[in-house]
Amino acid sequence: MNDASNAPAAATGPVRRSRDVPMLVERARAGDPRAVARLITLVESGDEVLPQVAAALAPYAGHAQVVGLTGSPGVGKSTTTNELVRALRARGHRVGVLAIDPSSPFTGGAILGDRVRMQDHATDPGVYIRSMSSRGHLGGLSAATPQAVRVLEGAGCDVVLVETVGVGQAEVEVASLADTTLVLLAPGMGDAIQAVKAGILEIADVFVVNKADRDGADATVRDIQGMIALGERGPGEWRPQVVRSIAARAEGIDDIAAAIDKHRDWLERHGELRRRREARAAAEIEAIALGVLRARIGSLRDGTQLPTLAAKVAEGAIDPYAAAEELLSQLGS
């Protein structure tokens, strides 16, 4: 395994010189795990060379299938990811794993967890694993993760698994950047009903009922299938698959892999892969453009223009909308 988890502190320094970027990308292309780690660190930190990194990686975009895995704490995401990596490797794929949200029981509080996972693939040069904070400079998952995916694509990964704990917005975000989204559930956790409420049916391409040897597994599967049956979808639309697994005993993993393949085939056959990726690229471009504009506005904070306008607003001489207009006109916008 290539431990892309933590770049040594020294690695971030010299990289800031832009002439190092092409070399780094070349080394990452050649499979150097340290170069992959450095690039992801640059991406995560919102470094100023980021546009250059992105430019160097652009030609390799779209190579990998991006698979999102989400689910509540305790459903077995880490174990499932681990076994899935094994199954994908057995099929000859190079695999990247981005584990988002270090506060989750697996990726986070759990340096131990990471180590256990690493050990399983410790001798395998075809696997990159990386934990990422969900709070980045650029606003979290949605901003840094697509770039990290590009790095792993650049490094030759055929599949990139993006694992995130299914809480709040994270699961929706992971779905928006994945080609295929797996939602993991476990029997008896009330997840199925929660799932409906949270609109998870909208984002799941494959439901995995893990811990399928537990009481209530049949009921959970039935609940989900009932939900799917009730869901409205057109004739050409994907019908979410339901797969059972017992990841801790490596059971059902091939079924998960098969469901992922099946969905990938469907995406390609229906032109949906292209559509999803273009929508994703559009969102990414918008987010970057907005970040640029935000930075430009922020740069006015230290000048005299914003403080002058603020003083006028505070004393009631003008309203904040008029002040914003004036600020924008000073930006040339």
C-beta closer to a copy of itself: residue 91 or 294:
294
- Interface with a copy of itself (CB under 8 A), residue from 12, 29, 34, 61: 61
Binds a copy of itself by CB under 8 A, chosen from 27, 29, 86, 277: 277
CB of 133 to a copy of itself, least distance (A): 17
Q: State the Cα–Cα distance between residues 47 and 31, nearest whole angstrom.
A: 22
Q: What is the Cα 37 distance to its own chain's centre?
A: 16
Task: Determine how β-strand 2-3 pairs with β-strand 206-209.
Answer: unpaired
**What are phi and psi for residue 146, nearest 5 degrees?**
-55, -35
Q: Which span sits near a copy of itself by CB under 8 A: 96-104, 185-193, 261-269, 279-287?
A: 279-287
Pair of tokens at residue 131 = 């934990």
- Which residue type, as a one-letter code, is found at position 118? M
Q: Which two tokens stand for residue 13?
A: 């320094």
Q: Closer to a copy of itself by CB, 30 or 282: give it.
A: 282
DSSP class of residue 186 equals -
Min. distance of Cβ 108 from a copy of itself in angstroms? 17
Site for a copy of itself in 302-331 (CB under 8 A): 306-307, 309-311, 313-325, 327-328, 331
Distance CA 41, CA 161 (A): 18
Q: Closest distance between a copy of itself and the C-beta of residue 281, in Å? A: 4
Rounded CA gap, 81 and 85, in Å? Answer: 6
Q: Which residue, 39 or 246, is less far from a copy of itself as judged by CB?
A: 39
Q: Between residues 226 and 298, which has the closer beta carbon with respect to a copy of itself?
A: 298
Per CB under 8 A, 282 contacts a copy of itself: yes
112 forms part of the interface with a copy of itself (CB under 8 A): no
Closer residue to a copy of itself, CB minimum distance, 55 or 219? 55
Residue 315 DSSP SS3 = coil
CB-nearer residue toward a copy of itself: 219 or 292: 292
- Does position 146 interact with a copy of itself (CB under 8 A)? The reply is yes
What separation in angstroms does the CA of 159 have from each of 94, 134, 214, 229? 7, 21, 30, 30
- Chain Cα centroid distance, residue 318: 44
Residue type, 299: S
DSSP letter, residue 159 = E
Residue 267 binds a copy of itself (CB under 8 A): no
Q: Is 139 in the site for a copy of itself (CB under 8 A)?
A: no
Binding mask 11-50 for a copy of itself (x = CB under 8 A): ---------------------------------------x
Are 73 and 42 within 8 A, CB to CB? no
Bridge partners of 244, per DSSP, are 209
List interacting residues with a copy of itself (CB under 8 A): 50-51, 54-55, 57-62, 146, 274, 277-282, 284-286, 288-290, 292-294, 296-298, 301, 306-307, 309-311, 313-325, 327-328, 331-333
